[in-house]
C-alpha cells in the first residue's frame, strides 16, 4: 500500500460525529432568520398550501386567460357601442338637417303665397 493509498483509506474511513453535533445544527437553524415572504407563508397556512399545490399553477393561466378574454369582450363591446353611437349621431344630424330644410321650404312657399295674395289685393 502506497502512502497515498494509506491517506485515502484514512480519509474515507467511517467517523462518528461529535455528541453535540445535532444540537448545534438545530441551534443554528433556529437562530438563522427566514426571509419575509417565507415567514408570511409559514404564518399563513392557506397561502402556503395554495401556492405549493398544483391547482394554483393550473388556475393561474386559466384566470389570466379569462381576464384577457373579458377585457377583449369589453373592449369589443365598447367599440361596437361607439360605432353605433357615431352612426346614430350622424343619422340624427342628417334628420335634423332634413327637417329644418323642409320646414324652411314650407315657410318659403307659404310666404310666396301670402305675397302673391297681397299683390292680387
77 binds another protein, rule: CB under 8 A: no
100 binds another protein, rule: CB under 8 A: yes
Cα angle 23, 28, 29; round to 5: 100
3-class SS of residue 32: coil
80 binds another protein, rule: CB under 8 A: no
Closest to another protein by CB, 34 or 95: 95
65 binds another protein, rule: CB under 8 A: no
CA 63, distance to chain mean position in Å, is 9
Cβ 85 to another protein shortest distance, Å:
4
Binds another protein (CB under 8 A): choice among 49, 58, 77, 81 = 81
Contact 47, 40 (CB under 8 A): yes
Q: What is the DSSP code (8-state) at residue 13?
A: S
Task: Provide the grid cell at 105.
Answer: 321650404
Contact 42, 48 (CB under 8 A): yes
Binds another protein (CB under 8 A): choice among 42, 49, 95, 115 = 95
Binds another protein (CB under 8 A): choice among 60, 77, 107, 115 = 107
Task: Name every residue whose Cβ is closer than 8 Å to that of residue 51 and which is 6 or more positions away in sequence.
Answer: 41
Q: List interacting residues with another protein (CB under 8 A).
A: 81-82, 84-86, 88-89, 91-107, 109-110, 113-114
Amino acid at each position: 500500500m502506497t502512502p497515498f493509498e494509506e491517506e485515502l483509506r484514512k480519509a474515507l474511513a467511517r467517523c462518528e460525529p461529535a455528541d453535540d453535533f445535532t444540537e448545534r445544527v438545530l441551534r443554528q437553524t433556529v437562530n438563522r432568520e427566514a426571509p419575509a415572504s417565507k415567514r408570511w407563508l409559514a404564518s399563513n397556512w392557506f397561502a402556503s398550501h395554495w401556492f405549493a399545490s398544483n391547482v394554483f399553477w393550473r388556475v393561474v393561466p386559466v384566470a389570466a386567460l379569462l381576464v384577457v378574454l373579458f377585457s377583449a369582450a369589453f373592449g369589443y363591446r365598447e367599440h361596437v357601442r361607439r360605432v353605433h353611437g357615431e352612426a346614430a349621431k350622424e343619422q340624427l344630424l342628417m334628420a335634423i338637417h332634413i327637417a329644418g330644410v323642409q320646414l324652411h321650404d314650407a315657410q318659403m312657399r307659404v310666404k310666396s303665397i301670402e305675397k302673391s295674395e297681397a299683390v292680387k289685393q
